[in-house]
A and B are shown apart, each in its own frame.
Chain A
Amino acid sequence: MSEYTDYTAYETGAPVVDTKAPSGPVAERWDTRRFEAKLVNPANRRKHTVIVVGTGLAGGAAGATLAEQGYHVVQFCYQDSPRRAHSIAAQGGINAAKNYRNDGDSVHRLFYDTVKGGDFRARESNVHRLAQISVEIIDQCVAQGVPFAREYGGLLDTRSFGGVQVSRTFYARGQTGQQLLLGAYQALSRQIAAGNVEMHPRTEMLDLIVVDGRARGIVARDLITGRVDTYFADAVVLASGGYGNVFYLSTNAKNSNATAIWRAHQRGAYFANPCFTQIHPTCIPRSGDHQSKLTLMSESLRNDGRIWVPKAQGDTRPPADIPEEERDYYLERIYPSFGNLVPRDIASRAAKNVCDEGRGVGPGGQGVYLDFADAIRRMGREAVEEKYGNLFEMYERITAENPYEVPMRIYPAIHYTMGGLWVDYDLQTTVPGLFAIGEANFSDHGANRLGASALMQGLADGYFVLPSTINDYLARNPHHDDVDASHPEAVRAVAETNDRLERLLAVDGDRTPDSFHKEIGELLWEYCGMARTEEGLRKALARIPEIRDEFWRRIKVPGSGQELNQSLEKANRVVDYLELAELLCLDALHRTESCGGHFREESQTEGGEAERRDEEFSYAAAWEFTGTGRAPVLHKEALEFAYVHPTQRSYA
């Protein structure tokens, strides 16, 4: 185990090129690609099997749509029902360039906002396609019965979100993700009932089967019986979400995990931009060591709440006893023109800075006040209640503090990961036949995702992009029945999976899976969280292999592998976090610029703002796996901006 080379001594390999994106005017590329793509005869589609892993917005939509087209879909989720995928927890809304408000919105403006919001680290072709499709998504969801908010005239309501100047966000109260997911789940359920989708709930993908360089199937474990089985297909689609849970405390669901994408990475799929992680500034702070996850509260709170900390360090007086002149409204002070409405990354970093100075509030000093006293004075309590009532209620339920009387305490938390498996314009990874959609891929958000764009991307990939592009692959690679469980690659993948599970059970040490998960999470949060330095990242990179060694010496997993064993599931996911964490830190170390969600303290302007360095880093970093603990190979995909010209952000 301990035969590590120097992990940071990575080599730069050949550039990786997106061969599928057509040239020509950006607005015509999607049409061009769809026309160029080969089609599969409807009568032949049922002979093709497609595996879809995950049932969130991307996976659910893809499974339903592919089945509708006539493909035989075999789909998996670790949850007991496809309806529970974590897309369900998205609150805010979904963007679409409908321009129902006549406020100057257009496909081009959404495209522009997304490229700029992503700090110029996304592909123009992909983002433009996303903006084009956004319009169709709303039509599709309304037709499915998604109960979007409506006005008295019966038409759809929209609001502005995430600092953009147009009102293009469609929403269903604070439960937009839930309603969109249920729409996809219902469409999927219809196909399951019709026999077109073979659904395997409570079944977790543990490996990818690659035969002759092509993805041909997966190894998955039935979480109830513990049975490890093989499933084969003509193509495999990963829609398994992001890797935010590597930080242990995040707003992700407890069981969201990176195993599917990481094992695919180990089998040859490049992993791109892992250091682009998004931190959300308004989460409820942790209340103690028992904290198992963090809960996000809508960013809209910053519209009326004022953020402050005491001016003095270690001031433990109750907030009401701190006089006005001893409070530091630091966002208003540092960013007078944007004040409390600065973008997510800036608000988050500022909170970290004041807490690092010892001025944080609440248990452990890891929090800042979000105060509504002024808003209540100005608008009246009723107006505040009307606007934020449900959020205040949620806050009070969790913290037992009444935010009408005591200022809320907030702290940033990991929320979304822009990085993921590298995919081309067709959403195909570097392993032919392996596709990645939704948060699992790296494609559309660059270094930073705009609010209400995750739902848009998941559904665009699932309903519209993948079902068009996968045809081309399937048409060019006529199906073969040549692979089954006895194929040497399948036998090898199953043996490796079983071997890993048995090893986890055999160690019988003295530490729980959660204790390791917490340790790696805290390490990452400290050194690869909101602000990163070369020194910190090197520390983390030195420590990760040690934790990994300790893990394999001291992990304790009770029970057996032939039953429902949640400790085994957890431990098996931690194995992958312990590897992914290393790549995450390496990517952060190599990208010495600051960019979007990635802030390197060494790269900031004199005013303390993030400094992007386009001449060196205008590329996506796609990493190739060479072995656990061994330096990966970096492949760069150069980014070109012909329509949106890179500018430096400034919010001062």
Chain B
Amino acid sequence: MALATRTDRRPSLTRSLWGSTVGKKTVMAVSGLIMLMYLVAHMLGNLKIFFGSGEFNAYAHWLRTMGEPLLHYEWALWGVRVVLLAAVVLHGVAAYQLSRRDIAARPSKYAHKRRRTSYATRTMRWGGIILALFIAWHLLDLTTLTVNENAQPGRPYENVVATFSTWYGNAVYLVAMLAVGLHVRHGFWSAAQTLGVGNARRDRILKATANGLALALTAGFVSVPVAVMTGVVG
């Protein structure tokens, strides 16, 4: 006798992605990779600070004129901002919902405590929260200039130097960049697994890439405050 054990009606792609833990992880992986690409570009741009105020400020200005004359002033930049905002929101909301779910799936703890997994793995959630707070401060500091001591529009070089001339500016930035490194280290490898790219053969390459990216990003970003502190940039 024929059995109707299942129907073949499937939810839409969006519903499938958002409705399942695996799908939500996919959303996190893709949004994370978008942010990672942005971070790499951002870090490379930051290095221009070593070539002086003129070049750095010109680069910052170019970000606004990108795509001209096809696009209007700042359109491209707003485009990037919209994509990034979407990535941040999706990444954050998915992470929040999945974390809530994960915590609920393990309602009682073991009486015998022991340290588990690597530092990078264990700090994904706290690292994410630190990064979210940092991004808010970072935007207020160097984009809207609300909390910047120099706060000169169109003079990002001077604004950056002002930020890194305060101890708290340095402290906040260094902690955040360390968090970026750790987050990218597990996040990149993890995204590869989620997207099904990982397998036993590729594992070493993926892990090496994750470590390389994490190290390059942290070192690249940290070089700026260090340069300001040591007077190389000023």
Contact = CB atoms under 8 A, between A and B. Distances in A.
Interface of A: 42, 45, 68-70, 190-191, 193-194, 196
A413 to B, nearest CB: 36
A194 B5 contact: yes
Contact of A42 (B1, B3, B5): B1
A68 B5 contact: no
A42 B3 CA distance: 13
A193 B4 CA distance: 10
B1 A193 contact: no
B5 A69 contact: no
A198 to B, nearest CB: 15
Contacts of A68: 1, 3
Q: Across the A-B interface, give the 9 residue pairs with the lowest CB-CB distance, nearest first.
A: A70-B1, A194-B5, A194-B3, A42-B1, A190-B5, A193-B5, A69-B1, A68-B1, A196-B3
A69 B1 CA distance: 6
Given A68-B1, A69-B1, 7 more contacts: A42-B1, A68-B3, A190-B5, A191-B3, A193-B5, A194-B3, A194-B5
A196 B2 CA distance: 12
Contacts of A69: 1
Contacts of B5: 190, 193-194
6 contacts: A68-B1, A190-B3, A190-B5, A191-B3, A193-B5, A196-B3
Nearest to B4: A194
B97 to A, nearest CB: 28
A171 to B, nearest CB: 26
Interface in B104-147: none
A492 to B, nearest CB: 37
Interface in B1-52: 1, 3-5
A193 B6 CA distance: 9
A263 to B, nearest CB: 33
A45 B4 CA distance: 17
Nearest to A70: B1
A588 to B, nearest CB: 47
Contacts of A196: 3
A160 B1 CA distance: 38
A194 B5 CA distance: 5
Contacts of B3: 68, 190-191, 194, 196
A25 B83 CA distance: 80
A109 B1 CA distance: 36
Contacts of A45: 1
Nearest to A67: B3
Contacts of B1: 42, 45, 68-70
A585 B159 CA distance: 97
A149 to B, nearest CB: 22
Interface string B47-86: 0000000000000000000000000000000000000000
Contacts of A193: 5
Nearest to A46: B1
Nearest to A42: B1
A419 B157 CA distance: 91
Q: Which of B1, B4, B5 has most A Cβ within 10 Å?
A: B1
A189 to B, nearest CB: 10
A382 B13 CA distance: 53
Contacts of A70: 1
A69 B3 CA distance: 10
Nearest to A194: B5
A41 to B, nearest CB: 12
A602 B28 CA distance: 78
Contacts of A42: 1
Contacts of A191: 3
A78 B63 CA distance: 70
A194 B6 CA distance: 8
A178 B70 CA distance: 67
B137 to A, nearest CB: 52
A254 B1 CA distance: 38
Output the residue of B3, B4, B5 with the most chain A CB within 10 A.
B3
B3 to A, nearest CB: 5
A193 B5 CA distance: 7
B77 to A, nearest CB: 53
A474 to B, nearest CB: 15
Contacts of A194: 3-5
B206 to A, nearest CB: 28
